[in-house]
A and B are shown apart, each in its own frame.
Chain A
Amino acid sequence: MKQAEPTAAGLGLRSCHICGLLSRSDESAGATHCPRCRTQIHSRKPNSVSHCWALIIAAYILYLPANLLPIMETGSLFTYREDTIMSGVVHLWKTGFWGISTIVFIASIMVPLFKLIALTLLLISVQCRSTWWPMQRAKLYRLVELVGRWSMLDIYVVTLLAGLVQLRSLATVKAGAGAIAFGAVVVLTMFAAMKFDPRLIWDPLRKENIL
């Protein structure tokens, strides 16, 4: 029979998320401060699950306008064109830029959807106190944190095009309302990923002495 692995929380210790120092803390005292750098420290991020849910649900709601509303409006004397994120990708693909089209598709469509689904799965598994595949879930969380920022790509492309293509009657580019919703989805999912506490993945396993 394996002995349970010692955790900081199990021994009444808290580690500082800024300087990494371990310190003994009184659970009943509530908020305590790191003796070295004076940061407020918690054994687990406070209200991690409920705050994370709130951010994700908001992101799910905004995900619809982000993808349905035009993100960019291109106009000239004779033509006018509105592009959503998806139609922009399709347009790039049709004009032969397969590489760039794939990059934009991954950054703007796959990554936000992946983040939402992954965080939802992580939250549900943590709430059920699941002991299922902890290592894979820990890796999934790391991946969510790693790729999240790249969704900002489309926002920057729109910013540059709208700043540059201002040639009056010849051609103008404007950012569309979809850009606001899309930016909000990226920011909300980034906050959600920061709010999620990966230690919650491991807590149920340690409690049942599986590890």
Chain B
Amino acid sequence: MAHQIEPLIACRECDLLLREIPLFPNDVASCRGCGAQLYRNTPNSLNRTLVFSLTAAILFIIANAYPILGIEIQGTRNATNLYGAVYSLWNHEMRIIALLVFATTILIPAVELTMMIYLLLPLCLRRKPPGIALNLRILQGIKPWGMIEVFMLGVLVSLVKLNDSFSIIPGVALWAFGGLTFMFATVAASFNPRDVWAHLDREPDGKGST
């Protein structure tokens, strides 16, 4: 134990002790015991994730500022953006559901993107932002609750349901949400928290100590 040269890690899912081996770019290490994914080698992860996060942030603003869908029947029209739909639920005594939708489609994705940019922008400029550990902890904790892609599927199902009785006017935010779904997937694929830790372990002389 005391004379190990390669660092040891434990599998998150079965606790098996394994030696950490270097990977080729884009390779994935899996646990020998249970097959769970252990870690990945994502080349240039910090820079790429930063670019994807910034793109996602712009799309996120567009997606929330403009209407997603409009409907028209006999000359009467109505259009709504995401916030408007949530607000309408809130007013119709469905406050818990309104909060749930607000949290999973607006608040958490916004927090996720903000924290990602807060973390990655200084790191890419070779600076160390304060509170990295807390930042990563929160990012990991809220990750399952951001549900942009599920919402996107919900928009598509709504489109089909509405198409039955109304004529539909697609809004700018509809396309923005499509792009946002894709960007969130690329952020998740390129972000590698291990790189952040590795980065900090490598450069303890950045700002303050590790």
**In the assembly, what is the distance between CA of A22 and CA of B160, in Å?**
51
- Chain A hits for B76, CB < 8 A: 167, 170
- Chain B hits for A159, CB < 8 A: 85-86, 89, 97-98, 101, 154
In the assembled complex, A104 has its CB within 8 A of some CB on chain B: yes
Q: What are the interface flags for B46-68 relative to A under an 8 Å C-beta threshold, 1 for contact and 0 otherwise?
A: 00000000000000000000001
**In the assembly, what is the distance between CA of A161 and CA of B161, in Å?**
9
Indicate if the CB atoms of A155 and B101 lie closer than 8 Å.
yes
**In the assembly, what is the distance between CA of A161 and CA of B9, in Å?**
48
Identify which of B10, B17, B155 contacts A156 (C-beta below 8 A). B155
In the assembled complex, A47 has its CB within 8 A of some CB on chain B: no
Indicate if the CB atoms of A183 and B97 lie closer than 8 Å.
yes
**In the assembly, what is the distance between CA of A162 and CA of B1, in Å?**
61
Indicate if the CB atoms of A156 and B33 lie closer than 8 Å.
no
- Chain B hits for A165, CB < 8 A: 71, 78, 162, 166
In the assembled complex, B136 has its CB within 8 A of some CB on chain A: yes
- Chain B hits for A80, CB < 8 A: none
**In the assembly, what is the distance between CA of A11 and CA of B85, in Å?**
54
Q: Which residue of B lies closest to A198 (CB)?
A: B13
Indicate if the CB atoms of A175 and B92 lie closer than 8 Å.
yes
Q: Which residue of B lies closest to A24 (CB)?
A: B1
Indicate if the CB atoms of A167 and B100 lie closer than 8 Å.
no
Q: Which residue of A lies closest to B210 (CB)?
A: A36
In the assembled complex, A129 has its CB within 8 A of some CB on chain B: no
In the assembled complex, B110 has its CB within 8 A of some CB on chain A: no
| Segment at the interface with A among B111-119, B122-130, B143-151 | B143-151
Q: What are the interface flags for A140-181 relative to B under an 8 Å C-beta threshold, 1 for contact and 0 otherwise?
A: 011000001110111111111111111100110011000110
11 residue pairs A–B, Cβ–Cβ below 8 Å: A15-B15, A18-B140, A19-B136, A19-B193, A20-B39, A36-B133, A100-B156, A156-B155, A164-B80, A198-B13, A201-B14
